[in-house]
Chains A and B, each alone.
Chain A
Amino acid sequence: DADVTQTPRNRITKTGKRIMLECSQTKGHDRMYWYRQDPGLGLQLIYYSFDVKDINKGEISDGYSVSRQAQAKFSLSLESAIPNQTALYFCATSDVGGNTDTQYFGPGTRLTVL
């Protein structure tokens, strides 16, 4: 969805380096999410944020941190990258409230840690 953008789209880095992945959205949604996807597997939730002051850990938050700089921006950091963090990373947004979990996903960032 063009309303959710991720940068960079591809990144190759070395073990021990600090990496930041950025996500921006123009949908005006309060909720934002970071997922990772390993080859052949489904997505796993890393962190999620229901508003600028609300950050929550997901299933696999160890080794990651996040920052919600504004309603439209949610960044994911790998403080010291390791090879098993090589994966596809997706950002998503959703609208607050209601009975729907309709999430809109960005195009993904392919991260390779050597």
Chain B
Amino acid sequence: DAKTTQPTSMDCAEGRAANLPCNHSTISGNEYVYWYRQIHSQGPQYIIHGLKNNETNEMASLIITEDRKSSTLILPHATLRDTAVYYCIVSAINAGGTSYGKLTFGQGTILTVHP
């Protein structure tokens, strides 16, 4: 699976958008981009994933560049409860369209939301 690079830490004011970047310049055509977060030693929580199109759900938006070498997770209105470590992960699917099921977690970005 492709390696990802994320900033070690970021700050955001409560109520503002948090934009978390991720570089995955070696991503392959069959690899998806996933975002998880971990709040203070709890089990990681799935946020969103995408292949090449931008995605949005109730938690966040995912913007993937056209060349797929980088992406940005956007939390539109950050709250104090969004303070967490955010992990950007790329994971492949096989030729049959089935995921390999293995996620490789890096060190992630520590997002701190301030009042």
Interface residues of A (CB under 8 A from B): 1, 4, 31, 33, 35, 40-45, 48, 50, 58, 88, 90, 92, 94, 96-108, 110
B44:A90 contact, CB within 8 angstroms: yes
CB-contact partner of A44 in B43, B93, B105, under 8 A? B105
**Docked pose: A107 CA to B44 CA in angstroms:** 9
Cβ-defined contact, B43 with A1, below 8 A: yes
Number of interchain pairs (Cβ within 8 Å) = 74
1/0 per residue, CB under 8 A from A, across B22-60: the answer is 000000000010101000011111100101000000000
B115 interfacial contact with A, CB 8 Å: no
* Interface size in chain B (residues, C-beta < 8 A): 27
Instruction: Determine the residue in chain A with the shortest Cβ distance to B110.
Output: A40
| Chain B residues packing against A (C-beta within 8 Å) | 32, 34, 36, 41-46, 49, 51, 87, 89, 91, 93, 97-108
Is A31 within 8 A of B93, CB to CB?
no
Q: Which of A44, A101, A104 has the most CB of B within 10 A?
A: A101
Q: Are A107 and B105 in contact (CB under 8 A)?
A: no
Q: Give bound CA distance, A107 to B99, whole Å.
A: 24
User: B43 touching A106 by the CB < 8 A rule?
Assistant: yes
Chain B residue numbers with a CB within 8 Å of A107 are: 42-43
A-B contact pairs, 6 of them (CB 8 A): A42-B87, A58-B102, A99-B51, A101-B100, A101-B103, A107-B42
Inter-chain contact B49/A101, CB cutoff 8 Å: yes
Partner of B105 from the list A31, A42, A94, A104 (CB cut-off 8 Å) is: A42
Are A103 and B103 neighbours in the complex by a CB distance under 8 Å?
yes
A42 in contact with B46 given A58-B102, A99-B93, A108-B41 (CB within 8 Å): no
Known: A41-B107, A94-B101. 15 other contacts (CB 8 A): A35-B105, A42-B108, A43-B103, A44-B105, A45-B104, A50-B101, A90-B43, A92-B44, A96-B98, A98-B99, A99-B51, A100-B49, A101-B34, A104-B46, A105-B45
